[in-house]
Amino acid sequence: MQCKTGAEHIESLKDGRTVYLDGKLVDDVTTHVAFRNAVASAASLYDYQARPENIELMTFVPEGGTRRVNRCWQMPRNYDELVQRRKALQTWAQLSYGFMGRSPDHVASAVIGQYMGLDVFTKHGPARAKALADYVDYATRNDLFLTYVIVNPQADRSKDWGDQAEELVAQIVDEDSTGLTIRGAKMLGTSSIMANEVFVANLQPLKPGEEALAFSCALPMNTTGLRVLSRKSYEAHAVSIYDNPLSARFDENDALLYFDDVKVPWERVFVHRDTDMCRAQFHDTPGHVFQNYQAQIRLSVKSKFLVGLAHKITEAIGTTNMPQVREQLGALAANAGMVEAMLSGMEASGSKRGAYYLPNRHLLYAAHAVTQDLYPRLINLVRDLAGGSLIMLPSSFRDWSNPELAPILHKTQRSPNFSSRDKVKLLKAVWDAIGSEFASRHTQYEMFYAGARFVATGHSYRTFDWSAARGMVDNLLSTYDLEEVPKSATE
Ligand SMILES: Cc1cc2nc3c(=O)[nH]c(=O)nc-3n(C[C@H](O)[C@H](O)[C@H](O)COP(=O)(O)OP(=O)(O)OC[C@H]3O[C@@H](n4cnc5c(N)ncnc54)[C@H](O)[C@@H]3O)c2cc1C
C-alpha cells in the first residue's frame, strides 16, 4: 500500500493555475525560479512520509481507505492518538526547522477539527454538513495539500466588512441551482502557489446584514477566475543556498487571492449566508483549536532550532563560557522549554468531545497569546548574542573564489572553534533565520498568523475558567470581616 510521493505532488501542481509575480503570469510554479525550491521542499515532505522506515510514524490508513495518508488527517480518539499524531507533525516541521508554517498539516488540522464538530454543520443544514463531510473524506483519501484564506483585506479597518467599498471582500454575487458565484478578495493565502486546493471562509466577526460575505467553500487552485497575486519572492532573491539556506528553500510564499466571478458548486459549499455559522464553524467545532495546535507543534521545533543557532553563535565567537552569555543561553533554553511544556500540558489536560480527544482549549490560547509576544523577544536575544558578526560577512559565496580575497577572508573570519568557511556558513544561516527579509516575514507571521494580539488575548479571556479564579478570591474574602478585626489591629 503506497502513499503520496513528492513526484506525485509536483505533477499535481501543473494544473494551469493563475499565479502572478512581478506583473507576469507564471507558467509553471514547479519550475519557476521564484517558487521551485519551496515546491521541492513541500514535495520532500511527501517523499519523507513514503520512505519505508517512516511510513508507520508518518501515515495511517483512513477508514475505508485503500492508501496510507499523512497522520495530519487522523482524528484522535484518545490521548495516545493525539500524541502519535503530534509526533508526525513535529517530524514534518523538523524538515523545514519550523520555517514552513503552512505545510499541508495546517489546513488539514483545521478541516478535520471542523469535521469533529459536524453536529454544528448539521444544525446549519444537512446538505452543508454532507458537503463538508464528503470534502474532508475526499481531501483525506487524496492526502491533499490545502491552503486557506479566512481573513479579509484590511482596507478601511474603521468600517465593517460589509461597508468596504467596491465589493472588496469576497462575497456571493449570484447563486442558482448549480452553486454560488463569488467576487472579491481574501488574504493571505500562504502556500497557495503550491497547494492543491483552497479553503475559503470568514473567521472575522460578521453582523446581520452581511450575509453575502457569510459563506465557506473549497476550490481547486486551478478554478477558472481564481487569481493568485504573489508577494515578492524571497526565494528568487536568495543569492545561493550557502548565502540564504532558509529563504532559498523554505519560502512558502503568501498571496492575495482574488475571486473573479468564481463558480462554486453546491457540493463544495459548507456555510451559506449565515453570519453566526461563519464563527461557529471555527469556534463551536474544534477547528480553530486544531489549526492553532498545529502552529504550536511547529513552533516547538522552530524555537529549539533558534536556541541551537544561539549556542552555535557563541561557539563561533568564543563567548560560550562567559557567565552572562551562559545566563542568556539559559534564558533562551527556558523559553524553548516553556513552548514544549505548554504543548505537553494542553495535550495532557485535553478532553473528549464526542468520540474525539482534543487539546485543552484555554491552554492552547494561552500558548498562542504568550508565544506571539515571545517570538520577537527570542529573535532579539539571538541578535544580542551575535553583535556585528552577522553583518561582517562576505557579500556572497563568490568572494571565496577570488584569490585576492580568500586569504583575507580566512584571516578575518577566524573563529576559536570553526574554520573561517564554517563560521561564515553558520552566520549566513543565522542571518537568514533572524535578520533577512525572509526572517522579518517570519516575525510578522508568528505575531499575526492567527490574529492580532487583541484577538489572541480575547480568545484567552473567553476560554479561561474565571469562576474558579474569582471563586478563590471570594473564598479568601469570606474568611474574615471588618467586625472580626481585633481592636488592636485597627488602632
Ligand atoms: C505572514 C503571514 C501569513 C498569513 N497567512 C495567512 C493565511 O494563509 N491565510 C489567512 O487567512 N490569513 C493569513 N494571514 C493573515 C492573518 O490571519 C491576519 O494578518 C491576522 O488575522 C490579523 O489580521 P489583519 O492582518 O487584518 O490585522 P488587523 O486585525 O487589522 O490588526 C492590525 C493592527 O491593527 C490594530 N487593530 C485593528 N483592529 C483593531 C481593534 N478592533 N481593536 C484594537 N486594535 C485593532 C492593532 O494594532 C493590530 O495589531 C497571514 C498573515 C501574515 C502576516
408-435, pLDDT tens digit by residue?
999 999 999 999 999 999 999 999 999 9
Report CA-CA distances (Å) from 347 to 125, 198, 290, 386, 423.
32, 29, 11, 36, 39
Q: Which atom of ligand 1 is nearest to the CA of 153?
A: 26
Please determine, for residue 218, whether its predicted confidence score (pLDDT) is greater than 90. Answer: yes
Cβ neighbors of 372 (< 8 A, separation 6 or more) are 446, 447, 448, 453, 456
> Quick one: which of 23, 9, 30, 11 has its CA closest to 235?
30
Atom from ligand 1 closest to the CA of residue 204 = 21
Taking the alpha carbons of 102, 104, 105, 106 in that order, is the dihedral positive or negative?
Answer: positive
Question: What does the radius of gyration of the chain's CA atoms come to, in whole angstroms?
Answer: 25
**Whose CA is closest to atom 45 on ligand 1?**
454
Nearest Cα to 310, choosing from 328, 323, 296?
Answer: 328
Cα separation, 347 vs 252, in Å, equals: 28
Q: Which residues pair with 136 in a beta bridge?
A: none
pLDDT at 489 over 80: no
Mean pLDDT of 441-464: 97
Mutate to test the pocket of ligand 1, among 190, 197, 204, 233 (most ligand atoms within 8 A of CB): 190
Q: Which atom of ligand 1 is nearest to the CA of 191?
A: 8
CA 443 to CA 56: how far, in whole Å? 34
Closest CA to ligand 1's atom 20? 451
Provide the residue type at 47 as one letter.
Answer: D
Ligand 1, CB within 6 Å, residue ranges: 102, 148-151, 154, 157, 187-190, 254, 441, 444-445, 448-449, 451-454
Cα(216) to ligand 1 centroid in Å equals 19
Distance 130 CA to ligand 1 centre (A): 31
Taking each helix axis from N to C terminus, what angle separates 405-412 and 420-434, rounded to the nearest 10 degrees?
A: 80
**Could you report the per-residue pLDDT of 278-309, keeping only the tens digit for each?**
999 999 999 999 999 999 999 999 999 999 99
Band the pLDDT of 1: cuts 50, 70, 90: low
Q: Which among 109, 148, 449 is the best mutation to test ligand 1's pocket, defined by most ligand atoms within 8 Å of the CB?
A: 449
Nearest one of 64, 65, 88, 62 to 75, comparing CA atoms: 62
Q: Which ligand 1 atom sits closest to the C-alpha of 192?
A: 8
Closest atom of ligand 1 to 447 CA is 53
- Mean pLDDT value across residues 210-215: 96
Backbone angles phi, psi at 150, to 5 degrees: -125, 5
Going from the Cα of 490 to the center of ligand 1, the distance in angstroms, rounded, reads 54
**pLDDT tens, position by position, 235-273:** 999 999 999 999 999 999 999 999 999 999 999 999 999
Strand extents, DSSP E, 98-225:
146-149, 171-176, 179-186, 197-200, 215-220
Q: First-to-last CA distance in the chain?
A: 84
Q: Cα separation of 143 and 125, whole Å? A: 27
Give the model's pLDDT for residue 491.
52
Report the side by side order of strands in the sheet with 171-176: 24-25, 18-21, 226-230, 255-265, 179-186, 171-176
Strand (E) or helix (H) holding 471: helix 466-477
Whole-structure pTM value:
0.96
Provide the 10 A C-beta neighbour count for residue 148. 26
What distance in angstroms lies between residue 351's CA and the mean position of ligand 1's atoms? 30
What ligand 1 atom has the least distance to the C-alpha of 190? 8
pLDDT over 90 (residue 202): yes
Q: Looking at residues 361-388, what average pLDDT do you find?
A: 97
Bridge partner list, 354: none
**Which residue CA neighbors atom 48 of ligand 1 most closely?**
452
Q: What is the pLDDT of residues 53-105, one digit of tens each?
A: 999 999 999 998 899 999 999 999 999 999 999 999 999 999 999 999 999 99
Quote the ligand 1 centre to 253 CA distance (angstroms). 17
Share of the chain above pLDDT 70, in %: 99
Does residue 329 contact residue 256 with C-beta atoms inside 8 Å?
no
Cell numbers that stand for 27 in this block: 507558467
Does the structure show a pLDDT above 70 at 2? yes
